[in-house]
Protein backbone atom coordinates (compact mmCIF):
# COMPACT_ATOMS: atom_id res chain seq x y z
CA UNK A 1 0.00 0.00 0.00
CA UNK A 2 2.78 2.43 0.98
CA UNK A 3 4.75 1.62 -2.14
CA UNK A 4 1.70 2.18 -4.35
CA UNK A 5 0.77 5.48 -2.71
CA UNK A 6 3.99 7.28 -3.71
CA UNK A 7 3.43 7.17 -7.50
CA UNK A 8 -0.21 8.24 -7.04
CA UNK A 9 0.89 11.23 -4.98
CA UNK A 10 3.55 12.18 -7.50
CA UNK A 11 1.06 11.82 -10.36
CA UNK A 12 -1.46 14.00 -8.55
CA UNK A 13 1.20 16.65 -7.86
CA UNK A 14 2.29 16.61 -11.49
CA UNK A 15 -1.26 17.03 -12.72
CA UNK A 16 -1.88 19.91 -10.32
CA UNK A 17 1.32 21.58 -11.50
CA UNK A 18 0.29 21.17 -15.15
CA UNK A 19 -3.18 22.63 -14.50
CA UNK A 20 -1.68 25.53 -12.53
CA UNK A 21 0.85 26.23 -15.27
CA UNK A 22 -1.90 26.14 -17.93
CA UNK A 23 -4.06 28.52 -15.89
CA UNK A 24 -1.16 30.95 -15.43
CA UNK A 25 -0.34 30.72 -19.12
CA UNK A 26 -3.95 31.51 -20.14
CA UNK A 27 -4.03 34.41 -17.67
CA UNK A 28 -0.80 35.84 -19.06
CA UNK A 29 -2.11 35.53 -22.62
CA UNK A 30 -5.27 37.44 -21.65
CA UNK A 31 -3.36 40.17 -19.81
CA UNK A 32 -0.63 40.51 -22.45
CA UNK A 33 -2.81 40.01 -25.52
CA UNK A 34 -1.97 43.47 -26.87
CA UNK A 35 1.76 42.83 -26.56
CA UNK A 36 1.37 39.39 -28.13
CA UNK A 37 -0.42 40.94 -31.11
CA UNK A 38 2.49 43.36 -31.54
CA UNK A 39 4.87 40.39 -31.43
CA UNK A 40 2.78 38.69 -34.09
CA UNK A 41 2.95 41.84 -36.20
CA UNK A 42 6.75 41.81 -35.89
CA UNK A 43 6.80 38.14 -36.91
CA UNK A 44 4.63 38.92 -39.94
CA UNK A 45 7.02 41.65 -41.10
CA UNK A 46 10.00 39.37 -40.46
CA UNK A 47 8.38 36.66 -42.60
CA UNK A 48 8.03 39.19 -45.42
CA UNK A 49 11.67 40.28 -45.11
CA UNK A 50 12.94 36.72 -45.11
CA UNK A 51 10.68 35.84 -48.04
CA UNK A 52 12.19 38.64 -50.11
CA UNK A 53 15.67 37.62 -48.96
CA UNK A 54 15.01 34.03 -50.06
CA UNK A 55 13.98 35.27 -53.51
CA UNK A 56 17.16 37.35 -53.79
CA UNK A 57 19.21 34.38 -52.61
CA UNK A 58 17.65 32.15 -55.26
CA UNK A 59 18.01 34.64 -58.12
CA UNK A 60 21.30 36.37 -57.33
CA UNK A 61 22.96 33.51 -55.43
CA UNK A 62 24.33 35.80 -52.74
CA UNK A 63 25.08 34.80 -49.17
CA UNK A 64 22.20 34.62 -46.69
CA UNK A 65 23.43 37.63 -44.74
CA UNK A 66 23.90 39.72 -47.89
CA UNK A 67 20.48 38.70 -49.20
CA UNK A 68 18.86 39.65 -45.89
CA UNK A 69 20.57 43.04 -45.80
CA UNK A 70 19.68 43.67 -49.44
CA UNK A 71 16.05 42.74 -48.78
CA UNK A 72 15.88 45.25 -45.94
CA UNK A 73 17.47 47.95 -48.08
CA UNK A 74 15.02 47.28 -50.92
CA UNK A 75 12.03 47.61 -48.61
CA UNK A 76 13.37 50.81 -47.06
CA UNK A 77 14.27 52.15 -50.50
CA UNK A 78 10.81 51.48 -51.94
CA UNK A 79 9.09 53.13 -48.98
CA UNK A 80 11.47 56.10 -49.07
CA UNK A 81 10.99 56.46 -52.82
CA UNK A 82 7.22 56.44 -52.51
CA UNK A 83 7.39 59.00 -49.72
CA UNK A 84 9.73 61.20 -51.76
CA UNK A 85 7.59 61.05 -54.88
CA UNK A 86 4.12 61.17 -53.34
CA UNK A 87 4.64 61.98 -49.67
CA UNK A 88 3.92 65.71 -49.83
CA UNK A 89 0.90 65.26 -52.10
CA UNK A 90 -0.55 62.44 -50.01
CA UNK A 91 0.01 64.39 -46.78
CA UNK A 92 -1.78 67.40 -48.27
CA UNK A 93 -4.64 65.24 -49.47
CA UNK A 94 -4.95 63.47 -46.11
CA UNK A 95 -5.21 66.89 -44.47
CA UNK A 96 -7.80 67.89 -47.05
CA UNK A 97 -9.65 64.65 -46.42
CA UNK A 98 -9.90 65.21 -42.67
CA UNK A 99 -11.10 68.77 -43.22
CA UNK A 100 -13.71 68.05 -45.88
CA UNK A 101 -15.20 64.80 -44.55
CA UNK A 102 -17.20 66.44 -41.69
CA UNK A 103 -18.68 68.95 -44.14
CA UNK A 104 -19.46 66.17 -46.59
CA UNK A 105 -21.23 64.19 -43.86
CA UNK A 106 -23.25 67.25 -42.84
CA UNK A 107 -24.25 67.78 -46.46
CA UNK A 108 -25.28 64.13 -46.70
CA UNK A 109 -27.42 64.50 -43.58
CA UNK A 110 -29.15 67.53 -45.05
CA UNK A 111 -29.89 65.68 -48.29
CA UNK A 112 -31.66 62.79 -46.55
CA UNK A 113 -33.32 64.86 -43.81
CA UNK A 114 -36.59 64.83 -45.74
CA UNK A 115 -36.68 61.03 -45.77
CA UNK A 116 -37.71 59.95 -42.28
CA UNK A 117 -36.69 56.31 -42.68
CA UNK A 118 -33.20 57.07 -44.09
CA UNK A 119 -32.65 59.80 -41.51
CA UNK A 120 -33.52 57.43 -38.66
CA UNK A 121 -31.05 54.83 -39.99
CA UNK A 122 -28.24 57.39 -40.20
CA UNK A 123 -29.08 58.61 -36.70
CA UNK A 124 -28.88 55.07 -35.38
CA UNK A 125 -25.49 54.61 -37.05
CA UNK A 126 -24.18 57.83 -35.50
CA UNK A 127 -25.47 56.84 -32.06
CA UNK A 128 -24.04 53.36 -32.41
CA UNK A 129 -20.58 54.56 -33.39
CA UNK A 130 -20.53 57.12 -30.59
CA UNK A 131 -21.83 54.58 -28.08
CA UNK A 132 -24.38 57.06 -26.71
CA UNK A 133 -27.37 54.74 -26.83
CA UNK A 134 -28.02 51.48 -25.11
CA UNK A 135 -27.94 49.30 -28.20
CA UNK A 136 -25.61 46.36 -28.42
CA UNK A 137 -23.92 47.88 -31.46
CA UNK A 138 -23.11 50.94 -29.39
CA UNK A 139 -21.69 48.74 -26.65
CA UNK A 140 -19.47 46.99 -29.17
CA UNK A 141 -18.33 50.30 -30.63
CA UNK A 142 -17.51 51.62 -27.16
CA UNK A 143 -15.58 48.46 -26.39
CA UNK A 144 -13.57 48.76 -29.59
CA UNK A 145 -13.05 52.48 -29.02
CA UNK A 146 -11.54 51.77 -25.62
CA UNK A 147 -8.61 50.13 -27.39
CA UNK A 148 -7.94 53.11 -29.64
CA UNK A 149 -4.34 54.23 -29.34
CA UNK A 150 -3.01 57.76 -29.40
CA UNK A 151 -0.91 58.84 -32.36
CA UNK A 152 2.24 58.97 -30.22
CA UNK A 153 1.58 55.54 -28.74
CA UNK A 154 0.84 54.06 -32.16
CA UNK A 155 4.08 55.51 -33.54
CA UNK A 156 6.09 54.08 -30.65
CA UNK A 157 4.48 50.66 -31.01
CA UNK A 158 5.08 50.66 -34.75
CA UNK A 159 8.75 51.45 -34.13
CA UNK A 160 8.99 48.60 -31.61
CA UNK A 161 7.31 46.21 -34.06
CA UNK A 162 9.80 47.14 -36.81
CA UNK A 163 12.78 46.71 -34.47
CA UNK A 164 11.39 43.37 -33.29
CA UNK A 165 10.89 42.30 -36.90
CA UNK A 166 14.56 42.98 -37.63
CA UNK A 167 15.62 40.81 -34.68
CA UNK A 168 13.28 38.00 -35.74
CA UNK A 169 14.44 38.19 -39.36
CA UNK A 170 18.16 38.12 -38.50
CA UNK A 171 18.05 35.07 -36.23
CA UNK A 172 14.68 33.30 -36.28
CA UNK A 173 16.07 29.96 -35.12
CA UNK A 174 17.00 31.36 -31.71
CA UNK A 175 13.40 32.36 -31.01
CA UNK A 176 11.95 29.20 -32.54
CA UNK A 177 14.21 26.97 -30.45
CA UNK A 178 13.34 28.97 -27.33
CA UNK A 179 9.62 28.53 -27.94
CA UNK A 180 10.02 24.81 -28.69
CA UNK A 181 11.92 24.32 -25.41
CA UNK A 182 8.61 24.94 -23.61
CA UNK A 183 6.87 22.12 -25.52
CA UNK A 184 7.04 18.39 -24.70
CA UNK A 185 9.90 16.64 -26.50
CA UNK A 186 7.55 14.17 -28.15
CA UNK A 187 5.73 16.97 -30.00
CA UNK A 188 8.60 19.32 -30.84
CA UNK A 189 9.17 17.89 -34.31
CA UNK A 190 5.50 18.32 -35.27
CA UNK A 191 5.38 21.82 -33.80
CA UNK A 192 8.52 22.79 -35.71
CA UNK A 193 6.91 21.44 -38.88
CA UNK A 194 3.74 23.44 -38.18
CA UNK A 195 5.75 26.61 -37.55
CA UNK A 196 7.58 26.17 -40.83
CA UNK A 197 4.33 25.57 -42.70
CA UNK A 198 2.81 28.63 -41.00
CA UNK A 199 5.72 30.81 -42.10
CA UNK A 200 5.33 29.58 -45.67
CA UNK A 201 1.57 30.20 -45.62
CA UNK A 202 2.03 33.68 -44.15
CA UNK A 203 4.63 34.49 -46.81
CA UNK A 204 2.27 33.49 -49.61
CA UNK A 205 -0.70 35.27 -48.02
CA UNK A 206 1.35 38.44 -47.53
CA UNK A 207 2.49 38.47 -51.16
CA UNK A 208 -1.06 37.99 -52.43
CA UNK A 209 -2.39 40.70 -50.12
CA UNK A 210 0.27 43.21 -51.20
CA UNK A 211 -0.59 42.60 -54.86
CA UNK A 212 -4.30 43.13 -54.14
CA UNK A 213 -3.58 46.27 -52.11
CA UNK A 214 -1.46 47.77 -54.89
CA UNK A 215 -4.09 46.98 -57.55
CA UNK A 216 -6.96 48.46 -55.55
CA UNK A 217 -5.02 51.58 -54.52
CA UNK A 218 -3.96 52.31 -58.11
CA UNK A 219 -7.35 51.56 -59.68
CA UNK A 220 -9.40 53.56 -57.20
CA UNK A 221 -6.99 56.52 -57.33
CA UNK A 222 -7.13 56.68 -61.13
CA UNK A 223 -10.90 56.28 -61.18
CA UNK A 224 -11.53 59.01 -58.59
CA UNK A 225 -9.03 61.30 -60.31
CA UNK A 226 -10.91 60.89 -63.58
CA UNK A 227 -14.15 61.86 -61.81
CA UNK A 228 -12.56 64.96 -60.27
CA UNK A 229 -13.04 63.76 -56.68
CA UNK A 230 -10.83 65.69 -54.22
CA UNK A 231 -8.06 63.88 -52.31
CA UNK A 232 -8.15 61.00 -54.81
CA UNK A 233 -4.63 59.77 -53.90
CA UNK A 234 -5.40 59.66 -50.18
CA UNK A 235 -8.70 57.87 -50.84
CA UNK A 236 -7.03 55.32 -53.12
CA UNK A 237 -4.28 54.69 -50.57
CA UNK A 238 -6.87 54.31 -47.82
CA UNK A 239 -8.82 51.77 -49.89
CA UNK A 240 -5.65 49.82 -50.69
CA UNK A 241 -4.55 49.67 -47.05
CA UNK A 242 -8.06 48.61 -46.03
CA UNK A 243 -7.62 45.48 -48.14
CA UNK A 244 -5.42 44.16 -45.31
CA UNK A 245 -8.70 43.65 -43.43
CA UNK A 246 -10.65 41.74 -46.12
CA UNK A 247 -14.35 42.20 -46.88
CA UNK A 248 -15.06 44.72 -44.11
CA UNK A 249 -12.09 47.05 -44.68
CA UNK A 250 -12.76 47.90 -48.36
CA UNK A 251 -16.47 48.53 -47.64
CA UNK A 252 -15.64 50.98 -44.84
CA UNK A 253 -12.93 52.64 -46.96
CA UNK A 254 -15.42 53.28 -49.78
CA UNK A 255 -17.66 55.47 -47.62
CA UNK A 256 -15.33 58.53 -47.46
CA UNK A 257 -14.82 58.40 -51.24
CA UNK A 258 -18.55 58.35 -51.97
CA UNK A 259 -19.15 61.15 -49.46
CA UNK A 260 -16.51 63.40 -51.00
CA UNK A 261 -17.80 62.58 -54.47
CA UNK A 262 -21.21 63.74 -53.27
CA UNK A 263 -19.76 67.22 -52.71
CA UNK A 264 -19.04 67.32 -56.45
CA UNK A 265 -22.49 66.09 -57.40
CA UNK A 266 -24.93 63.18 -57.02
CA UNK A 267 -23.94 61.70 -60.37
CA UNK A 268 -20.27 61.82 -59.36
CA UNK A 269 -21.10 60.00 -56.13
CA UNK A 270 -22.93 57.32 -58.10
CA UNK A 271 -19.99 56.89 -60.48
CA UNK A 272 -17.58 56.76 -57.51
CA UNK A 273 -19.64 54.01 -55.87
CA UNK A 274 -19.61 52.17 -59.19
CA UNK A 275 -15.80 52.45 -59.36
CA UNK A 276 -15.47 50.97 -55.88
CA UNK A 277 -17.88 48.18 -56.78
CA UNK A 278 -16.24 47.32 -60.12
CA UNK A 279 -12.76 47.39 -58.57
CA UNK A 280 -13.89 45.06 -55.78
CA UNK A 281 -15.48 42.67 -58.28
CA UNK A 282 -12.39 42.57 -60.48
CA UNK A 283 -10.19 41.96 -57.47
CA UNK A 284 -12.48 39.26 -56.05
CA UNK A 285 -13.37 37.40 -59.25
CA UNK A 286 -10.30 37.84 -61.46
CA UNK A 287 -7.26 38.82 -59.42
CA UNK A 288 -7.88 36.84 -56.23
CA UNK A 289 -8.43 33.43 -57.94
CA UNK A 290 -5.15 33.86 -59.82
CA UNK A 291 -3.34 34.86 -56.61
CA UNK A 292 -4.86 32.01 -54.60
CA UNK A 293 -3.44 29.44 -56.99
CA UNK A 294 -0.03 30.21 -55.50
CA UNK A 295 -1.09 31.82 -52.25
CA UNK A 296 -3.60 30.93 -49.52
CA UNK A 297 -7.30 30.30 -50.13
CA UNK A 298 -9.64 30.89 -47.17
CA UNK A 299 -13.47 30.80 -47.14
CA UNK A 300 -14.91 34.35 -47.21
CA UNK A 301 -17.34 33.61 -44.37
CA UNK A 302 -14.44 32.50 -42.17
CA UNK A 303 -12.63 35.76 -42.90
CA UNK A 304 -15.74 37.85 -42.25
CA UNK A 305 -16.55 36.39 -38.84
CA UNK A 306 -12.86 36.14 -37.99
CA UNK A 307 -12.41 39.89 -38.48
CA UNK A 308 -15.54 40.67 -36.46
CA UNK A 309 -14.50 38.29 -33.68
CA UNK A 310 -10.96 39.67 -33.64
CA UNK A 311 -12.27 43.23 -33.34
CA UNK A 312 -14.67 42.42 -30.50
CA UNK A 313 -12.22 40.26 -28.55
CA UNK A 314 -8.92 42.04 -29.18
CA UNK A 315 -9.79 45.50 -30.46
CA UNK A 316 -8.41 47.20 -33.60
CA UNK A 317 -5.23 45.11 -33.63
CA UNK A 318 -7.35 41.99 -33.45
CA UNK A 319 -9.24 43.06 -36.58
CA UNK A 320 -6.00 44.07 -38.29
CA UNK A 321 -4.26 40.74 -37.70
CA UNK A 322 -7.36 38.52 -37.82
CA UNK A 323 -6.67 37.13 -41.30
CA UNK A 324 -2.99 36.17 -40.78
CA UNK A 325 -3.96 34.68 -37.41
CA UNK A 326 -6.62 32.60 -39.16
CA UNK A 327 -3.95 31.45 -41.63
CA UNK A 328 -1.71 30.24 -38.78
CA UNK A 329 -4.58 28.62 -36.88
CA UNK A 330 -5.69 26.83 -40.07
CA UNK A 331 -2.21 25.36 -40.52
CA UNK A 332 -2.14 24.04 -36.95
CA UNK A 333 -5.68 22.64 -37.24
CA UNK A 334 -4.76 20.72 -40.39
CA UNK A 335 -1.48 19.34 -39.04
CA UNK A 336 -2.52 18.49 -35.47
CA UNK A 337 -6.25 17.78 -35.77
CA UNK A 338 -7.14 16.72 -39.30
CA UNK A 339 -3.93 14.76 -39.84
CA UNK A 340 -2.86 13.99 -36.27
CA UNK A 341 -6.20 13.16 -34.63
CA UNK A 342 -8.50 12.24 -37.52
CA UNK A 343 -5.74 10.66 -39.60
CA UNK A 344 -6.72 12.51 -42.77
CA UNK A 345 -3.36 12.63 -44.56
CA UNK A 346 -4.99 14.12 -47.64
CA UNK A 347 -5.91 17.31 -45.76
CA UNK A 348 -4.15 20.20 -47.50
CA UNK A 349 -2.13 22.67 -45.48
CA UNK A 350 -2.99 26.30 -46.40
CA UNK A 351 -0.26 27.67 -48.65
CA UNK A 352 1.23 24.23 -49.09
Mean local confidence (pLDDT), 282-308? 79
Poorest-confidence range of 194-208, 292-306, 309-323?
A: 292-306
Inform me whether the pLDDT recorded for 62 exceeds 70.
yes
| pLDDT for 138 | 43
Q: Kindly report the number of other CB atoms within 10 A of residue 172's CB atom.
A: 16
Give the residue from 9, 349, 36 showing the smallest Cα distance to 195.
349
Q: What is the pLDDT of residues 146-178, one digit of tens each?
A: 444 455 667 788 888 889 999 999 889 889 988
Q: CA of 330: how far to CAs of 36, 270, 299, 338, in Å? A: 19, 39, 11, 10
Q: Per-residue confidence at 111, pLDDT binned at 50, 70, 90? A: low
CB under 8 Å to 233, separation ≥6 — which residues? 86, 89, 90, 93, 221, 225
The CA-based dihedral angle spanning residues 301, 305, 310, 315, taken in that order and rounded to the nearest 10 degrees? 120
Of residues 148 and 280, more confidence is placed in 280
Mean local confidence (pLDDT), 317-333? 89
Inform me whether the pLDDT recorded for 293 exceeds 80.
no
CB under 8 Å to 40, separation ≥6 — which residues? 321, 324, 325
| pLDDT for 249 | 83
Return the HEC string of the chain: CHHHHHHHHHHHHHHHHHHHHHHHHHHHHHHCHHHHHHHHHHHHHHHHHHHHHHHHHHHHCCCHHHHHHHHHHHHHHHHHHHHHHHHHHHHHHHHHHHHHHHHHHHHHHHHHCCCHHHHHHHHHHHHHHHCCCCCHHHHHHHHHHCCCCCHHHHHHHHHHHHHHHHHHHHCHHHHHHHHHCCCCHHHHHHHHHHHHHHHHHHHHHHHHHHHHHHHHHHHHHHHHHHHCCCCHHHHHHHHHHHCCCCCHHHHHHHHHHHHHHHHHCHHHHHHHHHHHHHHHHHHHHHHHHHHHCCCCCCCHHHHHHHHHHHHHHHCHHHHHCHHHHHHHHHHHHHHHHHHCCCCCCCCCCCCC
Mean local confidence (pLDDT), 215-236? 89
% of the chain surpassing 70 pLDDT: 77
Mean local confidence (pLDDT), 99-107? 70
Amino acid sequence: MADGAVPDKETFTTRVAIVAFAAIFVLLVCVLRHVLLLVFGAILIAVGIRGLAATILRLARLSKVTSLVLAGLIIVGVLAGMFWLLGAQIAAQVSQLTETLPAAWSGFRERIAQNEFASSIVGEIESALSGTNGSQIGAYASRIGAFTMSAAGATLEFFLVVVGAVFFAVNPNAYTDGALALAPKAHRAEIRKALGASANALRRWLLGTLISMAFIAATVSVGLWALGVPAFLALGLLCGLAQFVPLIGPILAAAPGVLLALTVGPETALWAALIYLITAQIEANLLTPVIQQKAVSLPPALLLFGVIGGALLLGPLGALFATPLIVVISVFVVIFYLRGVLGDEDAKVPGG
